[in-house]
Amino acid sequence: MMAEGAAHTALHHALRGPRPIRTRLVLTVAGFGALAVATCVLAPLVGSSSINLRRALDSSIPFAANVDAQILFIARLPRVLAGALVGAALASSGVVFQALLRNPLATPFTLGVSAGASLGAMLVIILGGTIAVGPWSPVPLASLAGAGLAAAIVYALANGPRRVMSTTVLLLAGVTLNAFFSALIVFVQYLADFASVYRATRWLMGDLDVGGFAPILAALPLVAVAALIFMRLPAALNLMGVDPDSASSRGVDVVRAQRWAFFSASLATSAAVALAGPIGFIGIVVPHLVRLLVGVDHRIVLPASALFGASFLVLCDLLARTLLAPVEIPVGVVTAIIGGPFFLWLLVRDA
């Protein structure tokens, strides 16, 4: 009898309570997905100059002579796609790092991956380097190597045999690495000649104008691998986000989940930074905005952040290249101007 009564109450509540997760997930992915698609389709149509869309799509004009087509397909489209890829990668790895560090204020750059990437890029820009591997040109390749090195160091420091990764050690290692690599970056720039310093500074501001599809295709497999791992993490992240010990007693291999989370988020961040330089604030602003809209369940927040991150960065880049046309604002500046005050507001609100 008690069971019947309970079932009644449960049904009653089910009708009045929050929508079941399956529905919410579908609605959220559909909604943010539509936004992402719309952004990526419309953004190439807008730019610092106006193009004749009909001319651009006119296949009777030879491509090499069709300036409108060149602008649309070579100058703008790769840029939008790079923005979508980098935005999705940074936003989703932001979510994962926040879960790993059990801190909503963590960013993809907290653990030093970006500093390592920047140092790698600096060294090649300033000392010169011609090693290229496949579609990876020297600077992105060195950036990737630097990021990998930083991640490896943090991993080695925070990992112990059969031990759960201590978030304290992770944070300390990351902060230390950030400071150390940043100091090295300044030092290397100090020794360089003016032209190299210009180029280095420019790289540090972030640049989605990657000049073609090749760099995007180079970064894509890495982000795809990270995404595949991301798909298996959310339930574990939820459980660990409540209590790591309870998570363990509910069937989560916490050590393994942490390692996979660290690896995949570092991989996505490394690829994004290698492709377009360090673009800040995506990894913190997007997850927070998404949480405000859809709640904190990682099974929804993670895919939603990836999709919204794509739209967000594409829109920021749109502003960057049109606001003061023909002068271009570096996209990292736009994300900072939007993200900085937002971040401060978050801190004040949570205090």
Partner 1 sequence: MASSSSTYLVAHEVSYAYPRRGRSGTAHAVDGVSLAVPRGSFTGLLGPNGCGKTTLLKLMAGVLRPESGTVTLEGRVLADMPRRTAARHLAVVPQDTHPAFDYTSLEIVLMGRHPHLRPTQLEGPGDLAIAYESLEATGTLHLATRPFTSLSGGERQRVVIASALAQQPDILLLDEPTASLDLGYQLEVASLLRRLSRDRNVTMVMATHDLNLAASMCDALALLRGGRLLRHGPTSEVLTTGTVRELYDVEADVHFHQAAGHLTVTPVRRVG
Partner 2 sequence: MRGLLGVVLALLIALGSGCRNAAPPTPAKAQRIVSLVPAVTEMLFAIGAGPQVIGVSSFDHFPPEVERLPKVGALIDPDTERILSLRPDLVVVYGSQTDTEARFKKAGIQTFNYRHDVTDAIRGTFDTITALGAATNHDAQARAVVEQMTTGLDRIRMRVAGLPRPRTMLVIGRQPGTLQGIYVAGGSGFLDEMLETAGGQNVFEDFKKEAAQPSSETLLRRAPDVLLELRSPQPAGDYPAGDLGVWNTLASIPAVRDHRVHVIVGDFVVVPGPRIAEGVEAIARTLHPDAFK
Binding site for partner 2 (CB under 8 A): 47-49, 63-67, 69-71, 74-76, 79, 125, 127-128, 130, 132, 137-139, 190, 193-196, 198-199, 202-203, 207, 209-212, 215, 321, 326, 328
Looking at the Cβ atoms of 58 and 245, the one nearer to partner 1 is 245
Give the one residue of 297, 306, 330, 343 binding partner 1; rule: CB under 8 A.
297
Instruction: State the binding partner of 224 from partner 2, partner 1, none, CB within 5 to 8 A by kind.
Output: none
**What's the alpha-carbon Rg for the chain, to the nearest Å?**
22
**Token code pair at residue 88:** 């999705």
Contact status, residue 218 vs residue 140, Cβ threshold 8 Å: yes
Instruction: State the binding partner of 112 from partner 2, partner 1, none, CB within 5 to 8 A by kind.
Output: none
Q: Could you give phi then psi for residue 133, rounded to 5 degrees?
A: -125, 110
Determine the Cα–Cα distance for residues 212 and 218; give it in Å rounded to an integer: 11
Looking at the Cβ atoms of 49 and 246, the one nearer to partner 2 is 49
Determine the Cα–Cα distance for residues 341 and 324; give it in Å rounded to an integer: 21
Closest among 43, 86, 94 to 310, alpha carbons compared: 86
Q: What is the SS3 assignment for 176? A: helix
Closest distance of CB 346 from partner 1, Å: 13
Positions 144 through 183 that interact with partner 1 (CB under 8 A): 160-163
Instruction: State the binding partner of 166 from partner 2, partner 1, none, CB within 5 to 8 A by kind.
Output: none
**Is 47 among the residues that bind partner 1 (CB under 8 A)?**
no
Looking at the Cβ atoms of 68 and 297, the one nearer to partner 2 is 68
Closest distance of CB 245 from partner 1, Å: 5
Neighbours of 212 (CB within 10 A): 13
Question: Up-side HSE of residue 311: CA atoms within 13 Å toward CB?
Answer: 19
For residue 177, what are the contacts with CB-CB under 8 A and spacing of at least 6? 111, 112, 115, 116, 150, 153, 154
Residue 134 Ramachandran class (φ > 0 left, ψ -120 to 50 alpha, else beta)? left
Positions 199 through 258 that interact with partner 1 (CB under 8 A): 231-232, 235, 238-239, 241-243, 245-246, 248-253
Neighbours of 342 (CB within 10 A): 15
Instruction: State the binding partner of 137 from partner 1, partner 2, none, CB within 5 to 8 A by kind.
Output: partner 2
Q: Applying CB under 8 A, which part among 20-28, 36-44, 52-60, 277-285 lies near partner 1?
A: 20-28
Binding interface with partner 1 (CB under 8 A): 3, 6-7, 9-11, 13-14, 17-18, 20-22, 25, 99, 102-104, 160-163, 231-232, 235, 238-239, 241-243, 245-246, 248-253, 291, 295-297, 299
